[in-house]
Amino acid sequence: MNRSFWLKFKQKRLAVLGAILVAGLLGLCLLAPLFTHAGPDVQDLTLRLHAPSASHWLGTDEFGRDVWARMLYGGRISLSVGLVAVAISLVIGIILGAIAGYFGGWVDQVIMRTVDIVLCIPTLFLILMLVVFIGPNLFNIMVIIGLTSWTDLSRLVRAEFLTLKTRDYILAAQSLGAKNPRIIFKHILPNALAPVFVSATFGVAGAILLESGLSFLGLGVQPPTPSWGNILTAGKDYITQAWWLTLFPGLAIFVTVLGYNLLGDGLRDILDPRLSGTHHE
């Protein structure tokens, strides 16, 4: 990231706001022990369903657990699912997209037809089927979301490779006898990563939403481990008497997804020259 990137980024006020939201939430969740006076699973039935107060900023749940603590520790889970799932999809999408775009021919046909087949299956149905078959737990959710969200990335990387592999410096490297792995990973891939970063930013927001939806349905992270989705699920049974149990996890999901989307929009405007000048703030 050079100086011109940061100068352009600072001019994108909404992108800066998105970065602040993302960094703030990550910081709060990672430093959760510093901002909480009790663990997320500490129960006190005498404090059952207490409204937000000075001692419990976001109130307590049906077991007397501090919702603020559960939100921060649950944020660790929800954010880690988003980041790890996107990391898995990045590895698969970049490798397959690079191979398809660089080698072309039958290799490209096989990989792209595989992508088409995966895209024909409704993503949510495929995820629900895999979760039911494998079982809902944190590790499985991360892997399943990652394994079902690489197709768009592979197409994006393939398109970049198809363009870049015909550049003069690539042809020069080939004529000098450079091996294919060196050309792919040293000469082409670094120049193809800008749109990948943008897509990954949006992907984190999508993965967090997906995990929250699965947890809300009871097919995601399982209690007592907190995540924003299962906190929201538990709260719906008390929505008329404990509004804070649904409001705060819902706001956390909304703010997180908003932050990543604003950041992604800003990065897209800066890193994709085809969009420069088309978006203004």
Residue 71 lies in a domain: yes
Answer whether residue 21 is part of any domain: yes
Determine, yes or no, domain membership for 225: yes
Tokens at 156, concatenated: 């994006």
Residue 220's Cβ-count burial label (10 Å; 0-12, 13-18, 19+) is: buried
What pLDDT does residue 25 have?
92
pLDDT at position 132 is 83
50, part of any domain: no
Q: How many domains would you assign to the chain?
A: 1
Indicate whether 94 belongs to any domain: yes
46 is a domain residue: no
Q: For residue 218, report the phi and psi dihedrals to the nearest 5 degrees.
A: 85, 10
pTM of the model: 0.87
Please identify which residue in the block is written with the tokens 């992108």: 15
Q: Residue 56 domain-assigned? A: no
**pLDDT, position 37:** 83
Tens-digit pLDDT string for the chain (281 aa): 577 878 888 888 999 999 999 999 999 999 999 998 888 988 988 889 999 998 889 999 989 999 999 999 999 998 999 999 999 999 999 999 999 999 989 999 999 999 999 888 888 888 888 888 888 888 888 999 999 899 999 999 999 999 998 888 888 988 888 898 889 988 899 888 888 888 999 999 999 999 888 888 888 888 888 989 889 888 888 888 889 999 999 999 999 999 999 999 988 888 765 544 444 44
We report the CATH number of the domain holding residue 18 as: 1.10.3720.10
Q: Which of 195, 189, 196, 236 is nearest to 215 (CA)?
A: 236
Looking at residue 273, its pLDDT comes to: 56
For residue 74, what pLDDT is reported?
A: 92
Q: How far apart are CA 129 and CA 124, in angstroms?
A: 8
Domain assignment of residue 34, yes or no: no
Give the list of residues 6+ apart from residue 233 with CB closer than 8 angstroms, or none.
215, 216, 217, 218
pLDDT value for 276: 47
Domain span holding position 214:
14-28+66-272
Which structure tokens are listed for 60?
A: 């307590």
Among 268, 248, 269, 221, smallest CA distance to 25 is for 248
